[in-house]
Structure 1
Amino acid sequence: MNKVIETILNHRSLRQFEDKPLTDEQIKTIVSCAQAASTSSFIQAYSIIGVTDKDKKKKLSELAGNQEQVAKNGHFFIFCADLYRHALIGEQEQKNVIPSIESTEKFMVALIDAALAAQNAAIAAESMGLGICYIGGIRNQLEEVKKLLNTPERVIPLFGLAVGYPTNITGTKPRLPFEHIYHVNEYQPNKEEYLNQLKKYDSVISSYYEERTGGKRKDRWTEQMAIMLEKQSRMYMKEFVQKNKLDLR
């Protein structure tokens, strides 16, 4: 096993960081690694906003559900789906690109491009001994986030990435079984086998929480998911995306 694989397999979300900013060189390296990620048809349909202003970080923390790691970290990156530049390209090259830009396909491309770039950035940061935590909570109130970040139409902030020097290293969470995730040649939806795999995984997760919390918590994964999914959250997203001239047809 090489160091790259060790870094990937040792991933864990960390939420407590030293009050120590990343250097310009570290930031540039992380962003350069993000840019090295694969991108569909070389479209590069994303942008990254680095937030250093303490007041903005504090406001973003509040908008994300009062998550402390948004305000206190070494650097806070926000990954955005971005087709604004492509609209400008259409104007420059005198081509009608709007129907394509406003398609669900190109919206999906922008989401995927941003996610691939972010994961490269995360691995780069962790390989440098830094900790990371993805922040989906910035989508709680996207109108306010867009105003704060001054993003134009066709640009949507998707998630944040808090990066910094960790003060507390937690254990890695056990993932779903290999057999549950990986299918050979075709999807194999054997319901009985699926439920048995989930039951075994529930036992693993329950034991993980019980050990980590000294017996204060031992909830099951399926229990977590059912409770979370029963609550409808961010149901305004389709309207918001369409309002920002993405994913219209």
Structure 2
Amino acid sequence: MDGIAQTGAARLAARYGGDAPDVSAPANAVVDSILAHRSIRAFLPAPLADGVLETLVAAAQSAPTSSNQQAWSVVAVQDPARKARLAALSNDQRFIVQAPLFLCWIADLSRLDRLGAAHGRKLEGLEFLESYMVALVDAALAAQNAVVAAESLGLGTVYVGALRHHPEKVAEELGLPPNAFAVFGMSIGHPDPSVPSAVKPRLPQSLVLHHEQYAVAEEPARIAGYDARLGAFSQAVGMGRQDWTQRMLARVGTAAALSGRDRMREALAALGFKLR
């Protein structure tokens, strides 16, 4: 096994906490970088180099998009005061202010709506849930391309779902038109090496990879094994021993656990989405 393959095997083992598939996995620099992904929540104050933002957006625009609709936009926020206000709306996560760049990814049907208006057309198809789903998926695909590009440049990233805590206030802060929704934020910057981070083990492939048909027969035992690995990981990185089952039951066990996001349908209607 050559050096690249050895690195790939090590990355695969780290990604699953030692429960990696027993295969001779192909590897290259791109795969190695993806498998090494970790969320970064501590950044140096150093600014990004010229052209990095535009390169990340170009990478994002290289992602697949349904029917070439390109139903997404991104708002780049670098002003400290605006970052602070968005941080306050996102559970006061301080790294939003700390990172030099905060990207707000937008599920954006407004551009198509304006296109229809410019041509005297009411685009009825934009009023259906399917169109919102297309915009949501397009934004997510684009954002993940940007993450891969940023990490290949030695930068750190972290998604911020808490941007959805207050959709209307975020839309006002970003000046969004109707039919545009801030799906999530993303902090990007140079990782602070004094704050350690680690690759978090994921569910074993046996739980997410199904062959031919969906199967759940061995799910309880496999979840129990993952609980043990994630609990040990959490304890090792100073987060206390909390397993996946405990986290998930707490995270989606009650409406209150959604931190205001249980009113998402109401918020989307207020932002102009019909969702028929």
The yes-or-no answer on 1:186 pairing with 2:213 is: yes
Confirm whether residue 162 of structure 1 aligns to residue 187 of structure 2.
Answer: yes
Q: 1:75 aligns with which of 101, 117, 122?
A: 101
Q: Which residue, 111, 114, 121 being the options, matches 1:85?
A: 111
Structure 2: gaps (5+ residues): 1-26
What secondary structure does 1:56 align onto?
helix
Corresponding residue of 1:228: 251
Q: Sequence identity, in percent? A: 35
Shift of 1:247: 4.2
Tell me, what secondary structure is at the counterpart of 1:85? Answer: helix
Mapping for residues 7-156 of structure 1, pairs under 5 Å: 7-97=33-123, 99-156=124-181
| Pairing 1:244–2:271 present | yes
230-239 or 108-117, larger mean C-alpha shift: 230-239
Q: What is the Cα deviation at residue 204 of structure 1?
A: 0.5
Residue 173 of structure 1: aligned partner:
200
- What TM-score do you get using the length of structure 1 for normalisation? 0.95
Q: Residue 233 of structure 2 aligns with which residue?
A: 208
- For the 8 Å contact 1:38–1:116, the answer to whether it is kept is yes
Question: What's the CA shift string for 1:14-54, capped at 9, x where partnerless?
Answer: 10000012133011100100010000000000000000111
CA displacement, residues 53-81 of structure 1 (integer Å, 9 cap, x when unaligned): 11100011111011011111021111000
Cα-to-partner distance string for 1:123-162 (whole Å, 9 max, x where unaligned): 0000000000000111111111111111010000110110
> Stretches of 4+ moved more than 4 A in 1?
none
Contact 1:14 1:169 in 2 (8 A): no
Secondary structure at the counterpart of residue 262 of structure 2: coil
Q: Which runs of 5+ in 1 are unaligned?
A: none
Q: Distance in 2 between matches of 1:49 and 1:91?
A: 23
Residues 198-225 of structure 1: per-residue CA shift (max 9 Å, x gap): 0000011111112222xx7111110111
Q: Secondary structure at the match of 1:227?
A: helix
Structure 1 stretch displaced more, 111-120 or 71-80: 71-80
Aligned residues between the structures: 244
The 3 A distance-change label for structure 1 pair 148 and 142 is same
Q: Secondary structure at the match of 1:24?
A: coil
Which amino acid counterpart does residue 238 of structure 1 have in structure 2?
R
CA distance in 2, matches of 1:126, 1:184: 31
Work out whether residues 107 and 247 of structure 1, in 8 Å CA contact, stay in contact via their aligned partners in 2.
no
- Matched AA of 1:248: L
Q: Distance in 1 between matches of 2:179 and 2:156?
A: 31
Structure 2: how far apart are the matches of 1:210 and 1:240? Answer: 38
Distance 1:106 1:24 in 2: 35
Q: Distance in 2 between matches of 1:181 and 1:108?
A: 22
Task: Tell me how large the CA RMSD over aligned residues is.
Answer: 1.1
State the secondary structure of the residue aligned to 1:19.
Answer: coil
